[in-house]
A and B are shown apart, each in its own frame.
Chain A
Amino acid sequence: MRIIFTAVLLVVNIALQSTLFQLIAIRGVVPNTAIIIIVSVALLRGRFEGLLTGFFAGLLQDIFFGNALFFYALLGMLTGYFCGGINKSFYRENFILPLVLCAAATFLYNMAIYLTSLIMMGNINLLYCFLNKILPETVYTSVLSILGYRLLFELNEMIEYKERFRRKLF
């Protein structure tokens, strides 16, 4: 149930990201909703599920748009793992932490892309990339994460409620 739900969520997300979200781009910057999903799942469900969600979210992007197999999968996996690490030590109802984590994750994610581009191609201006790509995407994504986390939080409550109900029956 949960697996199917997350899989559908990821497929719909990659489809939306590549089509509809291009229309809400601000100055050519599209928010990274995949990171919102990874961070939210990791915070709500812990390390292992965060890691798996991150891996498959990244894999989808690799297959459709990436230049190297498993590159985004690796980034997503690590994001999910590290965000899941603090799953036990805070209240789920806290809505500031996901925002901060999303900002940090988006920033590091983009820095990793920047560094690999630097290694593979060279001659890329860090300040320009920071001001025009990394910073706007970080801000946009973290602002959207307030909404995204709230949505996933409610969905998670719903699924958990159903699971509890099922366990009582059997």
Chain B
Amino acid sequence: MNFFMHYRKHILILVSIVLLVTAFFTYEKKSSFTFVDNALTFIVTPVQDGISKISSFFTNKINERKLNKENELETEDLVLKVKELESENEALSKKISLLSEENDELSSLLNIAKKYPDFETIGVRITAKDPGNWYDSFLINRGSNDGIYSNMPIIDSSGLVGMITEAGKTHSKAQSILDSHNSVSAVCLRTNDTGIISGDYTLFEKGLCRMSYISPTSSIVPGDEIFTSYLSDIYPAGISIGIVTEIGLEESGLSKTAVISPTANLKQMDSLLVITNYKKQTSETSTED
């Protein structure tokens, strides 16, 4: 013990360096849980599950209360609105028939209509979120026992959410598109402009992300919808990511950037879908390392 006390500073520095080096080499390299990780999830996740279930129960109760009050006020307004909308509806239904013809043509071009129903999905629930304020990763309640491996895309009913980064036996770690580690190759179908969507520190808290490397000559405007492109190995093409809210020119002037508001509700995520059959390679590569 005397030895330790005498050389404690040297030992501390040595241990720090060893830890720093391992941290550097494991940075974003892990794709599946180790034995220790799985053992720890076995201890910690039941607690997390319990707490998140209890807390979601109470938030649901509170939200219900709020909604009930709001609903009573709203119904009066709504009755009036219904009459207005009925008249509008007739005009619009004529337009829709025209647009649906156009839509059929376009989607057959893009093969979206074909691809969407083919996805095999597993429903998952979020059990815990990153306690830090820098990144947006979370744990979900399914793992490799249910056929979930790293690099599988996660969606919700309206759009892209993120991807699995590490898969454990019963739980896995995932990253949303708001996380600055994540980047998605994206395309604007209206103008055919491609770009990269990634999380941004300054937009993260507002629930927005940034699309960069858009061609400076592109005619992209706020309101355009952005989809995943066919260039990605991880994300299947044609999943809605978000809607452009702001356009800017990069400082260098060589490309445009856009602020994207995701279509998926990323601030109040609860249950999500994991696409399991997009690429067969994902399961093979993840078992290798």
Contact = CB atoms under 8 A, between A and B. Distances in A.
Nearest to A62: B23
Contacts of A19: 48, 51-52, 55, 127-129
Interface string A83-107: 0000000000000000000000000
How many chain B residues sit at the interface, stated as a range, is: 35 or more
B23 A15 contact: no
Interface in A44-74: 47, 51, 60-61, 63-65, 67-71, 73-74
A81 interface: yes
A121 interface: yes
Interface string B32-50: 0000110011011001100
A147 interface: no
Contact of B173 (A60, A65, A81, A132): A65
Contacts of A1: none
B2 interface: no
A128 to B, nearest CB: 5
Contact of A68 (B15, B23, B130, B201): B23
Contacts of A11: 43-44, 47
A24 to B, nearest CB: 10
A113 B132 contact: yes
B135 interface: yes
B27 interface: yes
Given A15-B48, A23-B59, A68-B26, A77 B16 contact: yes
Given A15-B48, A19-B52, A125-B202, A120 B12 contact: no
Contacts of B55: 19-20, 23
B22 interface: yes
Contacts of B135: 65, 67
Contacts of B26: 68-70
Contacts of A21: 131
A67 B181 contact: yes
A27 B133 CA distance: 11
B133 A28 contact: yes
Interface in B27-81: 27-28, 30, 36-37, 40-41, 43-44, 47-48, 51-52, 55, 59
B131 A121 contact: no
Interface residues of A, number: 47
Contacts of B275: none
B131 A18 contact: yes
A158 interface: no
B258 interface: no
Contact of A81 (B12, B36, B52, B133): B12
Contact of A22 (B37, B44, B129): B129
Interface in B1-31: 8, 12, 15-16, 19-20, 22-24, 26-28, 30
Contacts of A132: 202, 205
A31 to B, nearest CB: 9
Contacts of A155: none
A133 B139 CA distance: 22
A145 interface: no
Which residue of B8, B52, B131 has the most chain A CB atoms within 10 A of its CB atom?
A: B131
A74 B131 contact: no
B48 A133 contact: no
**7 closest pairs, A vs B, by CB?**
A18-B128, A17-B131, A15-B47, A65-B130, A69-B26, A68-B23, A68-B27
Given A19-B52, A65-B135, A73-B19, 13 more contacts: A15-B48, A18-B130, A23-B59, A27-B205, A28-B205, A30-B131, A63-B40, A64-B41, A65-B132, A65-B137, A67-B28, A120-B27, A129-B201
13 contacts: A14-B44, A19-B127, A60-B44, A64-B40, A67-B135, A69-B22, A70-B26, A74-B19, A77-B16, A128-B202, A132-B202, A133-B133, A133-B134
